[in-house]
């Protein structure tokens, strides 16, 4: 019985990318062939309901696992796993965007997620409306879910535990495999995984790629995301960002980013007009475009003020972004950032900047309280700042320019969760704050009612 279905599906696949049902009764790749020859939706298989009418979509002892799912662009499909029938339970779900009418990318919505327990490494103080997402860097003792994309290295990161709210994942490539492993299951909280997925055409992925109807200053132009370096998951290089709208995006933006991932983004400016000095700047003013895990709980602390978690607050288990003042990780750190409502402008001293992003190996999927959107990751705008070569707007020598910034406004630390601009809590000796760029530093300070004690630049 099984065989018939599998063979029928294979046959249909062999017939090519034709998505719809042929007149002769052969079903498309994005359809399930019933024994009777009828074609039904691919997610009809083993969903607990009779769609074929002859029972061939619900064979006894069936499982939606270990199958490949295609679909038509513009249609939504569902897939659910209930309590595991036996342990250990291993299940692979492969989603493939077949191109054209079968889409280029996958949008995978996690509607319900209960996979064992998540043991946090640390208690999350910021309970917040969402109940907190649990500590980062914990472990998954009972089992976990992993995502892998064909053509990208496997990151090895895992999700486990329970999530109430939805999460969205957008693939970077055409094929995604979700693997679930469960070793222990409690009777009170058995396995529950409910997915809602759809295939998208690259043309419609404007938030990630820009293009027609693209938002912001980029207008209709495609966004420059840099090419992925071979053999890496998300390391990219950005050159000459004065020409294009460069955007540094978290992997799988605008959705959940993978676990245990490390990305390096190198920004370089080589074309510099005569008598000018180039500096690079990254920033993001919009809260909905800087969502690092657990920034959601922070955002609810003060609706009017803006909060930034940086420096000391970025404990090793937290997902974090590190900005280096130069092209390598040996260069001075401008900012260690692990979430907030915005990213204040961070400017390098020269024409090179390196950003490093690390996510923790284990995590419970973030749960946003219903009015909040699912976690989206982040996108940073890149700007090239040209200063006159003889101006005072940049530091010419690495050692000469150290600003010591002191927070003198009472209550600022508590209100903003120890926030206040780039580099303040890290302070002394580190506070090349907004990048040896006095104007940017003063701007960041003004936002936070700080008193800045700036030595006058000397020539």
Which residues sit at the interface with ligand NAG, rule CB under 6 A?
A: 63, 65-66, 90-92, 156, 260, 262, 302, 304-305, 361, 415
Answer yes or no: are the C-beta atoms of 142 and 160 closer than 8 Å: yes
Handedness of CA 313, 315, 317, 323 (dihedral sign): positive
Of the two residues 58 and 240, which places its CB atom closer to ligand NAG in the complex? 58
**In whole angstroms, what is the distance from residue 299 CA to residue 318 CA?**
17
201 or 262: whose CB is closer to ligand NAG? 262
Q: Is the dihedral of CA 363, 365, 369, 375 positive or negative?
A: positive
Q: Which is nearer to ligand NAG, 35 or 92 (CB)?
A: 92
Q: What is the spatial distance between Cα 133 and Cα 318, in angstroms, rounded to a whole number? A: 12
- Closer to ligand NAG at the Cβ: 51 or 260? 260
The token pair at 176 is 């995604």
- For ligand NAG, the closer of residues 81 and 440 by Cβ is 81
d(CA 28, CA 6): 13
The 3-state DSSP class for residue 336 equals: strand
Q: How far is the CB of 133 from ligand NAG (least distance, A)?
A: 19
Q: How far apart are CA 122 and CA 200, in angstroms?
A: 38
Rounded CA separation 215/382 (Å): 15
Cα–Cα distance between 131 and 365 in angstroms, integer?
Answer: 13
Q: Which two tokens stand for residue 13?
A: 């696949």
Least separation in angstroms between CB 245 and ligand NAG:
30
CB of 221 to ligand NAG, least distance (A): 34
The nearer residue to ligand NAG, 235 or 348, going by C-beta atoms, is 235
376 DSSP 8-state letter: -
Q: Which two tokens stand for residue 366?
A: 């973030």
Shortest CB 399 distance to ligand NAG, Å: 34
Which tokens in the block code for residue 129? 């409306």
Distance CA 145, CA 257 (A): 14
Pairing relationship of beta strands 276-284 and 343-347 according to DSSP bridges: antiparallel
Contacts of 113 (CB under 8 A, 6+ apart): 145, 159, 161, 162, 163, 167, 192, 193, 194, 365
φ, ψ (nearest 5 deg) of residue 184: -140, 145
CB of residue 144 vs ligand NAG: minimum separation in angstroms?
10
Cα 363 to Cα 125, 137, 258, distances in angstroms: 16, 7, 10
CB nearer to ligand NAG: pick between 305 and 326: 305
| Shortest Å, Cβ 7 to ligand NAG | 18
Q: Which residue lies nearer to ligand NAG by CB, 61 or 429?
A: 61
DSSP state of 207: H
Give 66 or 328: the residue with its C-beta nearer to ligand NAG.
66
């Amino acid at each position: 019985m099984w065989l018939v279905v599998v063979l029928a599906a294979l046959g249909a696949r062999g017939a090519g990318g034709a998505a719809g049902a042929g007149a002769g009764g052969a079903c498309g790749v994005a359809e399930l062939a019933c024994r009777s020859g009828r074609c039904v939706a691919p997610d009809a298989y083993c969903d607990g309901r009779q769609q074929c009418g002859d029972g061939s979509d619900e064979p006894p002892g069936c499982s939606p696992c270990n199958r490949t799912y295609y679909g038509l662009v513009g249609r939504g499909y569902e897939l659910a796993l209930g309590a595991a029938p036996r342990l250990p339970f291993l299940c692979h779900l492969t989603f493939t965007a077949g191109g054209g009418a079968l889409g280029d990318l996958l949008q995978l919505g996690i509607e319900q997620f209960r996979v064992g327990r998540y043991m946090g490494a640390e208690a999350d103080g910021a309970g917040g409306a969402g109940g907190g997402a649990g500590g980062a860097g914990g472990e998954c003792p009972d089992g976990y879910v992993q995502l892998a994309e064909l053509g990208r290295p496997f990151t090895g990161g895992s999700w486990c535990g329970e999530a109430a709210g939805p999460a969205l994942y957008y693939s970077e490539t055409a094929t995604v495999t979700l693997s679930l492993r469960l070793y222990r299951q409690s009777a009170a909280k058995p396995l529950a995984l409910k997915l809602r997925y759809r295939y998208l055409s690259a043309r419609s992925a404007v938030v990630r790629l820009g293009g027609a109807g693209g938002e912001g200053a980029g207008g209709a132009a495609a966004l420059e995301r840099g090419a992925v370096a071979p053999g890496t998951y998300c390391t990219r290089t950005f050159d000459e960002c004065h020409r294009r709208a460069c955007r540094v995006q978290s992997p799988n933006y605008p959705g959940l980013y993978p676990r245990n991932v490390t990305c390096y983004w190198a920004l370089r400016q080589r074309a510099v007009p005569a008598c000018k000095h180039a500096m690079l700047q990254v920033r993001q003013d919009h809260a909905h475009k800087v969502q690092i895990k657990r920034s959601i709980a922070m955002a609810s602390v003060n609706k009017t003020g803006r909060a930034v978690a940086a420096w000391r607050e970025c404990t090793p288990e937290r997902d974090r972004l590190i900005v280096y003042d130069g092209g390598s990780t040996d260069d001075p750190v401008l900012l260690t950032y692990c979430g907030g409502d915005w990213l204040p402008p961070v400017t390098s001293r020269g024409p090179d900047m390196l950003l490093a992003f690390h996510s923790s190996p284990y995590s419970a999927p973030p749960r946003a309280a219903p009015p909040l959107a699912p976690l989206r990751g982040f996108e940073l705008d890149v700007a090239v700042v040209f200063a006159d070569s003889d101006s005072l707007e940049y530091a010419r020598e690495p050692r000469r320019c150290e600003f010591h910034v002191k927070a003198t406004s009472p209550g600022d630390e508590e209100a903003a969760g120890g926030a206040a601009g780039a580099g303040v809590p890290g302070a002394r000796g580190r506070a090349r704050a907004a990048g040896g760029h006095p104007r940017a530093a003063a701007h960041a300070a003004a936002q936070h009612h700080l008193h800045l004690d700036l030595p006058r630049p000397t020539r």
